[in-house]
Structure 1
Amino acid sequence: MSPRMATLRRACTDFDVMRALRAGLLLLLCLWLTVAVLFPLATLAVKSLTTPDGTFAGLDNFIRYFKTPALAVSFGNSLFVSAATTLAAVSLGFAYAYALTRTAIPAKGFFLTVAMMPIFAPTLLNGIVLVYLFGKKGLVTTGFFGLLPFTLDIGLYGAVGIILAEVLFVFPQAVLILTMALSMTDARLYEAAHSLGASPGRVFFTVTLPGVRYGLVSACFVGFILSFTDFGAPKVVGGFFNVLATDIYKQVIGQQNFVMGATVSMILLFPTVLAFLADRVSRRRQSSMIGARSVPLVPRPDPVRDRPFFLFCLLVALAVISFFLVAVFASLIKVWPYDLSLTLAHYDFSGMGGGGYRAFFNSLKMSAISAMAGTIATFSAAYLIEKSPGMRPIRQAASFLCIVPLALPGLVIGLSYIFFFNAPAFDLFGLHIPNPANALYATMGILVLSNVVHFFTVGYLTAATALGQLDREFESVSESMGVPFYRTFLRVTAPVCLPAILEIGLYFFVNSMATVSAVIFLYSADIPLAAVAVANMDDAGDIAPACAMSVLIVGANVAVRILYGLATKRLRRRTQTWAGKE
């Protein structure tokens, strides 16, 4: 055999080895997601179809649920609250996003930053601050302790309080989605409309709204999912107005009725999955409307239009800032509302339930590990799926499994993990199969895993978007030179995508610090968590310490966000210059 043929044969062998290695890694990804997502869901579904003693019950649990008036009403309450929240939050979010993208108002960066602030806080804080504002002894309810000539009692506890808290929770998500949708509209459509003499109102209804209709639909479905599945706000200000999320908590924690908890979880999951599927369809159609020749719209100054929108954004920003200032103020008041002197006593959590500063530092540790593990998992998964040649069936299966977690509420993930990871073994078809995953139960590992799964899809989509912008020639040239794909990944792909990688890490950290629903069933007394401590202190009536702990969570997230901004500002500029975008 000639040296040339030997070299060619060796190159083909190396290519086959790399292809087999990619296929093996994709199969491992599918296996991991199956164990971490599908198996726990299957265990939850089986639990909902059995009796407490383990015998098969069919649909009896679901029938019993809907025949119990107090429980069945919760389903209608959840639908009502979610619909009202979605209508209010998306309307506000659209007006805010329109001001940021279609007007020439100043301080757009400031307004966008303020709009994102609620993302940094657990939704429990939304309810707690509303109590300080509109509760029986709230600032607004008492007319700022008699300083104003009027008082206002909105009847906070119940649907009103839940909707107000959820609007604050959903508003940032709506702004993000609608800002993206509005920024993608082709400026040529507006030029054509103006040349035809169309009025501003006609342009809005014939060009603007049709151009963002899929973005609006997506924002509505995302808002519905978030408010339908949220647990924190209804727990604090729900009163006797029950929703599905609080029903799950009461059934599992209050009554130790795990079977009914599983049943309610499946009921909670059904509308969420339908909304998720509709959202995916709308996002795909929105993306298909973006043409290669589209011209970005640059708004021209118009005082008649800009001044009202600037005033609107200013009022919303002041409301959000005031909301968080009330949280800080309430955490420093000695005895609300009788002694308004300032004190740091509420930041001394000794003697309080929930774990105090140990819980806070546990959350920092958990969030940091979740950020690292989640970033590695999502970016590696996106790379294998987006950059692997061929193997279409395996890649499609892996992509589907990466998308599934987005449809799962945190409470459903947490409860399904109890059933799956707490079982020492499974009896299947007469076989007694040990469960090796049981070793993770009641450890930091299961908390990290629940966070990684809970927020996996957004990180994966972010990574896939960043990787999609890279030229495929990187991999082609590397393969032609016999460079292993993992070396290309470490030396070229990861450094170029470093801004996106850091953004994914920030997303995992912030959400892991603030989440309650995904971990409230999984934490143990040995591993208390800050967000769960807020819930426990609220249950015990220690509202001010709960507010103080929430302020610490927000402070930690803001600090990490600032560090992220400082670390990536110069990096982004250098990367964009290198890529020829500037």
Structure 2
Amino acid sequence: MPANCKVNEEKKLQFAEFRTLLRQPLLAVSIIAVLLLLIVFVCYPMLRIIKLACTNDLNEITFVNIINIFKSRTYLKTCINSIKLAVTVSILSTIIGYIFAFAINRTEVPGRAFFNTIIQLPIISPPFILALAIIFLFGRQGIITNGLLGIKGNNVYGFKSLVFIQVISFFPVAYLTLTGILASIDTSVEDAAMNIGASRWYVFWTVTFPLSMPGVISAVLLTFVQSLEDFSNPAVIGGNYTTLSTEAYRTITGMYDFHSGAALAVVLLAPTITAFLLQRYWLKKKSFVTITGKTTSQTRKIHGKNTIPFFIFCTFISAVFLLLYGTVFVGAFAKTWGIDYTLGITHFIYAWKYAKEALQKSLLLSLIAAPLTGLLGIYIAYLTIRKQFPGKRFMQISSLLTFAIPGTVLGIGYVSAFNTGFIVLTGTPYILLAAFMFRNISVAIESGVSTLLQIDKSIGEASTILGASNATTFRRITLPLLKSPFFTGIVFSFVRSMTAVSTVIFLTSPKWPLATSKVYGLFDISKYSDAAALVVYMIVIILLAIGIIKFLVSWILKPRVHKL
């Protein structure tokens, strides 16, 4: 087709889309509203960061701030530290996550349900809990170093502890990424190889592993981004091992240098955005389809004595989890860790008095942000999959961009964007709600898109033909069918809001303190048992809230028969 004809066809299509929107004013208004929200709360803060990084105090354009980062030995070392940590953690997390996912999905190892449950503990727990456990076990008064081995004054801070904590924290993300693809691989391909005499080991390296490469690449990139953007663990247990996220925080809050802090944020943003785009590009270009719709033989899983190594591996990892979480739980009750292990509730009483208001406000804001995030995410997924409109591509990219933006960068962007100007939100709960929503919206969108692609369009079209409006069709037909991703989006948003650190460390105020900032404050003054008690409070609140949210979502979206 000639270029001119192609351009004309595109213009006709765009004009047809525009006319369709004019006939549905409510839909048009909602699309404009969503686009404005994305521009204000995603694009504008990022542009503000770039502007800060590329200007000086006189508002003159300059690249000195970014150049100085690569000239300064301190900043350059910080950049290298961050990349080194992220690469190490991503590789180790993916290896452990792959073995665990393979054991759960491709073998008949006993206790799979238990292993699958316990591995998700880091996902629903505050980020400080593992750092607390390491201090309790291996610190100066550690029960292992000081109590069992008699090592006095052990230095638990630094690179090795960071790697251990981040691997334990982030390999469940790799596991969840890999478990889906390993479970969906059609085993008839493996069976065919084994039927002609290939060994299990040969089949794994020539068939199973190559087919699971999309999951491996995704897991590596996801854990790389998670490690790079992590603030809480490096801030608490990094010691002299500085990272970009902690250095940006120190530069802004300690030196009051927003321009250099923004430059560090831009440097931090570059590899995370690159990793995110590489992941999207890889999954888009590669095809690893093995599900054809044809009937296949039953999965031939590894069984018998061959499952023993996998059982030992899963048991060891689960034991590490139980040790770490159990230590924090006991530490919250111990009178003085390392000296007097008498159990009591003194730390719980202190933690409640110290952080009662912060816990209440964290819970309130999280409960408000969670359903709003779930609804907005599902609606964006619905618009991008089911509707054609100008600006659709922009909506798709900008709505998922926050997944790749480190929390520290987003927090700096919000401080810069909403401290002055046409929207002033600094010091109010609204800036926290906006940060919670747009930081966590990508999961609701992705899960909604995946589900919508499996729902036949004719279901919604039938409703429209019978006279229902777009709003009614979405509320009474589409939304109930999206109950699972809606619940996923709400729960993920609630948990991430309750446990957020890097995003909100710049946004909290005396009037609106958050529980995580209070935990961080207790770390600063070395009140570790009080911090442990506060973390236990947070875990209990999160678990109770997840149960209540699950019940409410099931009840609200329960299909009902409407009498004529």
TM-score, with normalisation over the residues of structure 1? 0.88
Give the equivalent residue in structure 2 for 1:554. Answer: 539
Give the equivalent residue in structure 1 for 2:8. Answer: none
Alignment counterpart, residue 495 of structure 1, candidates 477, 480, 493: 480
Q: How far 1:36 sits from its partner (Å)?
A: 0.6
Give the equivalent residue in structure 1 for 2:493. Answer: 508
Distance 2:556 2:485 in 1: 11
Contact 1:22 1:384 in 2 (8 A): no
Contact 1:499 1:571 in 2 (8 A): no
Give the equivalent residue in structure 2 for 1:190. Answer: 190
Structure 1 residue 94 corresponds to structure 2 residue 95: no
Contact 1:185 1:296 in 2 (8 A): no
Distance 1:90 1:296 in 2: 29
Secondary structure at the aligned position of 1:292 is classed as coil
Q: How far 1:480 sits from its partner (Å)?
A: 2.1
Give the equivalent residue in structure 2 for 1:79. Answer: 83
Structure 1 residue 470 corresponds to structure 2 residue 436: no
Give the equivalent residue in structure 2 for 1:456. Answer: 441
Contact 1:182 1:212 in 2 (8 A): yes
Give the equivalent residue in structure 1 for 2:282. Answer: 282
Secondary structure at the aligned position of 2:242 is classed as coil
The code of the aligned residue for 2:442 comes to T
Distance 1:125 1:516 in 2: 13
Structure 1 residue 161 corresponds to structure 2 residue 166: no
Note closer, same or farther for the CA distance 1:445–1:209 as it changes in structure 2 (3 Å cut): same
Distance 2:156 2:192 in 1: 49
Secondary structure at the aligned position of 2:342 is classed as strand
Distance 1:49 1:204 in 2: 50
Q: How far 1:381 sits from its partner (Å)?
A: 1.4
Cα deviations by residue, 1:376-430 (Å, 9 ceiling, x for unpaired): 2111111122222x33x4322211221111110111111100000001x3xxxxx
The aligned runs of 1:234-245 (5 Å cut-off) are 234-245=234-245
Give the equivalent residue in structure 2 for 1:56. Answer: 60
Give the equivalent residue in structure 2 for 1:7. Answer: none
The code of the aligned residue for 1:67 comes to K
Q: How far 1:240 sits from its partner (Å)?
A: 0.8
Structure 1 residue 39 corresponds to structure 2 residue 24: no
Q: How far 1:566 sits from its partner (Å)?
A: 6.2
Distance 1:164 1:152 in 2: 22
Cα deviations by residue, 1:464-484 (Å, 9 ceiling, x for unpaired): 222222210122222322321
Distance 1:16 1:31 in 2: 17
Q: How far 1:283 sits from its partner (Å)?
A: 3.1
Q: How far 1:290 sits from its partner (Å)?
A: 4.9
Distance 1:89 1:23 in 2: 44
The code of the aligned residue for 2:333 comes to L
Distance 2:39 2:553 in 1: 34
Cα deviations by residue, 1:261-314 (Å, 9 ceiling, x for unpaired): 111100100011111111112333567635433648624452122122112111
Distance 1:396 1:230 in 2: 29
Contact 1:214 1:285 in 2 (8 A): no
Give the equivalent residue in structure 2 for 1:430. Answer: none
Note closer, same or farther for the CA distance 1:569–1:28 as it changes in structure 2 (3 Å cut): closer
The aligned runs of 1:404-415 (5 Å cut-off) are 404-415=401-412
Q: How far 1:153 sits from its partner (Å)?
A: 9.3
Distance 1:422 1:564 in 2: 34
Contact 2:352 2:534 in 1 (8 A): no
The code of the aligned residue for 2:261 comes to G
The aligned runs of 1:507-526 (5 Å cut-off) are 507-526=492-511
The code of the aligned residue for 1:367 comes to S
Secondary structure at the aligned position of 1:363 is classed as helix
Note closer, same or farther for the CA distance 1:166–1:296 as it changes in structure 2 (3 Å cut): farther
Q: How far 1:441 sits from its partner (Å)?
A: 2.2
The code of the aligned residue for 1:72 comes to L
Secondary structure at the aligned position of 1:259 is classed as helix
Give the equivalent residue in structure 2 for 1:376. Answer: 375
Give the equivalent residue in structure 1 for 2:417. Answer: 420
Give the equivalent residue in structure 1 for 2:117. Answer: 113
Structure 1 residue 69 corresponds to structure 2 residue 78: no
Note closer, same or farther for the CA distance 1:285–1:556 as it changes in structure 2 (3 Å cut): farther
Give the equivalent residue in structure 1 for 2:365. Answer: 366
The code of the aligned residue for 1:481 comes to L
Contact 1:50 1:259 in 2 (8 A): yes
Secondary structure at the aligned position of 2:144 is classed as coil
Give the equivalent residue in structure 1 for 2:393. Answer: 396
Note closer, same or farther for the CA distance 1:57–1:384 as it changes in structure 2 (3 Å cut): closer
Give the equivalent residue in structure 2 for 1:264. Answer: 264
Give the equivalent residue in structure 1 for 2:144. Answer: 140
Distance 2:285 2:252 in 1: 40
- More displaced stretch, 187-196 vs 92-101: 187-196
Note closer, same or farther for the CA distance 1:531–1:351 as it changes in structure 2 (3 Å cut): closer
- More displaced stretch, 16-25 vs 177-186: 16-25
The code of the aligned residue for 2:336 comes to V
Distance 1:442 1:116 in 2: 34
Secondary structure at the aligned position of 1:455 is classed as helix
Note closer, same or farther for the CA distance 1:130–1:422 as it changes in structure 2 (3 Å cut): same
Contact 1:26 1:385 in 2 (8 A): no
Secondary structure at the aligned position of 1:42 is classed as helix
Give the equivalent residue in structure 1 for 2:12. Answer: none
Note closer, same or farther for the CA distance 1:301–1:66 as it changes in structure 2 (3 Å cut): closer
Secondary structure at the aligned position of 1:341 is classed as strand
Distance 1:319 1:549 in 2: 22
Contact 1:94 1:174 in 2 (8 A): yes
Q: How far 1:525 sits from its partner (Å)?
A: 0.5
Contact 1:120 1:510 in 2 (8 A): yes
Distance 1:370 1:290 in 2: 39
The code of the aligned residue for 2:145 comes to T
Cα deviations by residue, 1:360-380 (Å, 9 ceiling, x for unpaired): 111111110110110121111
Aligned residues: 541
The code of the aligned residue for 2:401 comes to V
Distance 1:182 1:301 in 2: 14
Contact 1:15 1:479 in 2 (8 A): no
Secondary structure at the aligned position of 1:334 is classed as strand
The code of the aligned residue for 2:474 comes to F
Distance 2:472 2:20 in 1: 14
Distance 1:305 1:20 in 2: 63
Q: How far 1:524 sits from its partner (Å)?
A: 0.4
Q: How far 1:21 sits from its partner (Å)?
A: 3.4
Contact 1:405 1:453 in 2 (8 A): yes
Alignment counterpart, residue 104 of structure 1, candidates 108, 129, 132: 108
Structure 1 residue 128 corresponds to structure 2 residue 127: no
Cα deviations by residue, 1:217-238 (Å, 9 ceiling, x for unpaired): 1100001000011000011111
Give the equivalent residue in structure 2 for 1:10. Answer: none
Give the equivalent residue in structure 1 for 2:15. Answer: none
- More displaced stretch, 411-420 vs 151-160: 151-160
Secondary structure at the aligned position of 2:335 is classed as strand
Note closer, same or farther for the CA distance 1:524–1:550 as it changes in structure 2 (3 Å cut): same
CA RMSD of aligned residues (A): 2.5
